[in-house]
Amino acid sequence: MINFEYIRASSVKAAVEALAKNPTGGFIAGGTNLIDLMKRGVTAPTRLIDINNLPLKQVEETSAGLHIGALAINSEVSANDLVKNNYPLLSMAFAAGASAQLRNMATVGGNMMQKTRCSYFYDTAMPCNKRQPGSGCGALQGHNRMHAIFGASDKCIAVHPSDMCVALAALNATVTVSGPKGERKILFTDFHRLPGDKPELDNTLQKGEIITGVIIPKNTFNKNHYLKIRDRASYAFALISVAAALEVSGDTIKKASLAMGGVAHKPWRLTEAEKFLVGKTATKENFSKAADLAIKGAKGYGHNNFKLKMAPIAIVEALMIATGIA
Amino acid sequence: MDNNCKNEGRRDFLKKSTALAALAVASPALVKAGENDEKIAALFEKIPLNIEVNGKAFSLSVEPRTTLLDFIREQLHLFGTKKGCDYGQCGACTVHVDGERINSCLSLAVMNEGKKITTIEGLANGEELHPMQKAFIKHDGFQCGYCTPGQIMSAVACINEGHANSRDEVREFMSGNICRCGAYPNIVDAIMQTKKEGSTHD
Ligand SMILES: Cc1cc2nc3c(=O)[nH]c(=O)nc-3n(C[C@H](O)[C@H](O)[C@H](O)COP(=O)(O)OP(=O)(O)OC[C@H]3O[C@@H](n4cnc5c(N)ncnc54)[C@H](O)[C@@H]3O)c2cc1C
Ligand code: FES
Ligand code: FES
A151: left (phi over 0), alpha (psi -120 to 50) or beta: left
Q: Classify B118 as helix, strand or coil.
A: strand
Half-sphere exposure of residue B190: CA atoms within 13 angstroms, side-chain side: 27
Evaluate if residue A99 carries a pLDDT over 50: yes
Evaluate whether residue B178 is within a structural domain: yes
Q: Which ligand is nearest to the Cα of residue B181, counting in written order?
A: 3
Written in H, E and C, the secondary structure of chain A is: CCCCEEEECCCHHHHHHHHHHCCCCEEECCCCCHHHHHHCCCCCCCEEEECCCCCCCCEEEECCEEEEECCCEHHHHHHCHHHHHHCHHHHHHHHCCCCHHHHCCCEHHHHHHCCCCCHHHHCCCCCECCCCCCCCECCCCCCCCCCCCCCCECCECCCCCCCHHHHHHHCCCEEEEEECCEEEEEEHHHHECCCCCCCCCCECCCCCCEEEEEEECCCCCCEEEEEEECCCCCCCCCCEEEEEEEEEECCEEEEEEEEEECCCCCCEECHHHHHHHCCCECCHHHHHHHHHHHCCCCCCCCCCCHHHHHHHHHHHHHHHHHHCCC
Asked whether B76 and B122 are in contact (CB, 8 A), the reply is: no
Which atom, in ligand 3's list, is nearest to the CA of B144? 2
Scanning every residue of chain A, which has its alpha carbon at the shortest distance from the alpha carbon of B64? A6
- Min Cα distance A218 → chain B (Å) is 29
Domain boundary among B69, B96, B122: B122
The reply to whether B62 and B111 lie within a common domain is yes
pLDDT for the residue numbered B201 = 54
Rounded Cα gap, residues A218 and A231, in angstroms:
34
**B144 CB within 6 A, ligand 3:** yes
Task: Give domain status of residue B58, yes or no.
Answer: yes
B117-153 pLDDT tens trace? 999 999 999 999 999 999 999 999 999 999 999 999 9
Q: Are residues B30 and B88 in the same domain?
A: yes
| Ligand nearest to C-alpha A36 | 1
Q: Is the pLDDT of residue B21 over 70?
A: no
Q: What pLDDT shows up at residue B133?
A: 98
| pLDDT range class, residue A3, cuts 50, 70, 90 | very high
Q: What are phi and psi of B88, to 5 degrees?
A: 75, 15
Q: Is B19 in the pocket of ligand 3 (CB under 6 A)?
A: no
Is the beta carbon of B85 within 6 A of some atom in ligand 2? yes
Output A322 or B30, whichever has higher pLDDT.
A322
| Average confidence (pLDDT) over B96-119 | 98
Q: In Å, what is the CA distance from B114 to each residue of A97, A256, A269, B57, B97?
A: 28, 47, 43, 9, 10
Q: Is residue B140 part of a domain?
A: yes
Contact A3 B65 (CB under 8 A): yes
Strand partners, B57: B52
When pLDDT is cut at 50, 70 and 90, the band that residue B22 belongs to is very low
pTM of the shown model: 0.92
Give the strand pairing for A223-229 and A240-249.
antiparallel
CA of A264 to the centre of ligand 2 (A): 29
Do B114 and B146 lie in one domain? The reply is no
Q: How many residues does chain B have?
A: 202
Note whether B94 and B140 are same-domain residues. no
Does B135 share its domain with B118? no
Region B157-175: mean pLDDT is 98
In a domain, B157, yes or no: yes
User: Are residues B6 and B106 located together in one domain of the fold?
Assistant: yes
Q: Both B82 and B142 in a single domain?
A: no
pLDDT at B45: 81
State residue A64's pLDDT score: 87
Same domain for B82 and B6: yes
Residue B7 clears pLDDT 50, i.e. is over it: no
| Atom 3 in ligand 2: residue holding the nearest Cα | B88
Q: Domain end: B81, B98, B122, which one?
A: B122
Q: What structural domains does chain A harbor?
A: 1-53 (3.30.43.10), 223-323 (3.30.390.50)
pLDDT of residue B44: 54
Kindly provide the ipTM of the predicted complex, given to two decimals.
Answer: 0.96
- Domain-embedded: residue B192: yes
Alpha-carbon Rg for chain B in angstroms: 20
B34 assigned to some structural domain: yes
> What's the rounded Cα separation, in Å, for the pair A251 and A129?
48
With contact defined as beta carbons under 8 Å apart, do B68 and B171 qualify?
no
Q: Residue B202, SS3?
A: coil
Mutate to test the interface with B, among A49, A99, A232 (most CBs of B within 10 A): A99
Using the predicted structure, report yes or no on whether residue B6 has a pLDDT greater than 90. no
Rounded CA-CA distance B103/B89 in Å is: 9
**pLDDT (average), residues B181-192:** 98
Of B43, B111, B161, the CB nearest to A52: B111
pLDDT over threshold 90, residue B99: yes
pLDDT of residue A198: 98
Give the minimum alpha-carbon distance from B87 to chain A in angstroms, rounded to a whole number: 6
Cα A265 to ligand 2 centroid, rounded to whole Å = 28
CATH of the domain at B145: 1.10.150.120
Instruction: Give residue B19's pLDDT.
Output: 43
B83 falls within a domain: yes
Q: Rounded to whole angstroms, how far apart are CA atoms B131 and B201?
A: 10
Residue B202 lies in a domain: no
Torsion sign (Cα): A189, A195, A198, A203 = positive
pLDDT band per the 50, 70, 90 thresholds, residue B202: low
| B18: confidence class by pLDDT, cuts 50, 70, 90 | very low
Write out pLDDT tens, residues A259-314.
Answer: 999 999 999 999 999 999 999 999 999 999 999 999 999 999 999 999 999 999 99
Q: Is B120 helix (H, G, I), strand (E, B) or coil?
A: helix
Q: Are residues B140 and B95 in the same domain?
A: no
Domain total in chain B: 2
> Pick from B128, B117, B119: which is nearest to B92 by CA?
B119
Residues B116 and B138 in one domain: no
Indicate the residue among B91, B122, B153 that finishes a domain: B122
Which residues from A are below 8 Å from B108, CB to CB? 6, 28, 31, 35, 48
Average pLDDT of chain A to the nearest whole number: 97
> Do B80 and B171 belong together in one domain?
no
Q: By residue range, what is the domain housing residue B158?
A: 131-197
For the stretch A14-27, pLDDT in tens is: 999 999 999 899 99
Query: Does one domain contain both B117 and B178?
Result: no
Cα distance between residue A69 and residue A164, in whole Å: 14
Instruction: Report pLDDT digits (tens) over B31-85.
Output: 344 454 555 555 558 999 999 999 999 999 999 999 999 999 999 999 999 999 9
pLDDT confidence of residue B12: 44
Instruction: Quick: pLDDT tens for A194-226.
Output: 999 999 999 999 999 999 999 999 999 999 999
A39-64 tens-digit pLDDT: 999 999 999 999 999 999 999 999 98
The minimal CB distance from B102 to the residues A28, A50, A104 is found for: A104
pLDDT exceeds 70 at position B162: yes
